[in-house]
Structure 1
């Protein structure tokens, strides 16, 4: 095994990154070249980067992209504030040997590594404590957040029957109310680069109207990031923007991300003047129905355990923070 460290993403390149991502266990949009490179462009200007590459016989088998945080060593690129899942980008099944090579190469370093947003089922979580000890390092794993995830049945009718009586009644009631009081409202999805570019402004407007906190979140830098990644991911079949459109303008909107039979609910917005109609919840029902119709296996509500998500019947899955440092060092 050979380990090299690069100071720029371009030392790896989009093609090599994409080829490795396609062979990895977690093939989500958050670990794609597009997402990572745009995150660096928007949020990591001036920060030191270390892109650790593991090769076996000249073949890349893993990438660990890190940036230097202000007071806590090194963290994975992507940012836990915008990326719901992050991890080592490695050939599926070779994660543990890749981690062994990385830990051996960094063993003498005193700087801690903090890996945010790692799925609990990842070898980065399950194998790291034992692996780290073999190299004089200590690894700790903490549950950082949870993602409510819905296993999708074969039909919409089966899904409705899986809900408890109250959940089913409330969903049907809200959908009937919109049909009665806003009969011209229709769910619409845009999925091409051109259409996403054309309607992203509508999403951003609804997002900022929804709550004061969302307006603060969607500042100029964040908008620049969204305007770069959403059309590019749509071009790769990994992003859509949904609207509950009405003649007077959209009532609600969601950005969804897609990978490996999964639809992920990434971000949302709704018009507060129509809050009484629960347009977001009604549109969300249409999203679940569409995912089932397209044969998707999972509907992932992504990080955050807001109550409305659990009204759709998902189960929580842990997302972890993995911290790696020399044995005996204080935890970050």
Structure 2
């Protein structure tokens, strides 16, 4: 195997075709690979938020690219640190590794990324939001470097049954009762329907989500995560790419023919669905459109053969009301000799 360190935007862009092949290969397997590691997510993130210099470790084998660790070097407070691309708005971070790659690939990537970092004045490498099973959990620190660990945010996960009829097992009865009541109310209000947005419906559905999300936070006197123009620019660039990669699920609920809720979800491998962000029309609060659409999304995930719903970072009450059980993200900080 041959490792290289990519430090320019042009070289990073040139890597995209191989990166797409590697991500597609890894995403076909159950495990920890998610769309958060794809070029469809991370390259738009770098365009929107990237400052400093790319420091991307790539590992090549006989079949092509077999491992990737996209970091960047940030100047901060007169010092330098390494961070993963995607940090901040990405719930799960990790190296991307071919499932068939030899053991130790993550350690090679880490050593490649950090090899000359101390000479370049890097004071630390922070690796936050590592999910359970992340390759970087057990990757060996380069010689002389030492590692510290911390516990991050909870990421509740709902383990799905084999059929929607069996939801009464993992999902509390009160929530299923509320779902039935909400659906009855929506029927009486003019009927409801839920569907996944097709290619030509993605941007209208996104615009509706943004409008509902921003209206809700404005009424609270706060901005919300979608108030940042860079965040909006990132998602507008990433959504079509995620759709093309087969990873996007924009679930849309209509009541009496009008959009009442939109859920932005991502398909991770064959086994998981990640609920990222949502918007719903508060004027429809009586019908609880968020509850109806989440119930639909869970049933659709079961129909696709998925086994887990990931509610991602944060301990909001509704996640536990649906039967979510905490899995903790963790972080590592690597310090040079």
Query: If the length of structure 1 is used for normalisation, what is the TM-score?
Result: 0.87
Equivalent residue of 1:49, what SS? strand
Q: Deviations over 1:157-204 (max 9, x none)?
A: 101243333333333333333333x232322321x3222123322222
**Structure 2 CA distance for aligned equivalents of residues 68 and 246 of structure 1:** 48
Residue of 24, 33, 38 corresponding to 2:44: 38
Unaligned runs of 5+ in 2: none
Residue of 197, 200, 215 corresponding to 1:194: 200
Give the equivalent residue in structure 1 for 2:135. Answer: 123
Q: Deviations over 1:29-56 (max 9, x none)?
A: 1111121111111111x42111112234
1:64-83 alignment, distance < 5 Å: 64-71=69-76, 73-80=81-88, 82-83=89-90
1:15-164 alignment, distance < 5 Å: 15-24=17-26, 26-44=32-50, 46-56=51-61, 59-71=64-76, 73-80=81-88, 82-92=89-99, 94=101, 97-105=104-112, 106-107=114-115, 109-110=117-118, 111=122, 112-125=124-137, 127-128=138-139, 131-132=140-141, 135-164=143-172
Residues 220/108 of structure 1: CA separation in 2 closer, same or farther (3 Å cut)? closer
**Structure 2 CA distance for aligned equivalents of residues 108 and 27 of structure 1:** 28
Residues 316/4 of structure 1: CA separation in 2 closer, same or farther (3 Å cut)? same
RMSD over aligned CA atoms reads: 2.4
Q: In terms of mean alpha carbon deviation, does 65-74 or 221-230 score higher?
A: 65-74
Per-residue deviation, 1:287: 1.0
Paired positions, count: 319
Whether 1:185 and 2:195 are equivalent positions in the alignment is no
**Structure 1 CA distance for aligned equivalents of residues 158 and 166 of structure 2:** 13
Q: Deviations over 1:189-233 (max 9, x none)?
A: 21x322212332222211211223454533322222111111221
Query: If the length of structure 2 is used for normalisation, what is the TM-score?
Result: 0.86
Residues 95/202 of structure 1: CA separation in 2 closer, same or farther (3 Å cut)? farther
Whether 1:266 and 2:276 are equivalent positions in the alignment is yes
Give the equivalent residue in structure 1 for 2:314. Answer: 304
Per-residue deviation, 1:100: 3.0
**Structure 2 CA distance for aligned equivalents of residues 57 and 136 of structure 1:** 30
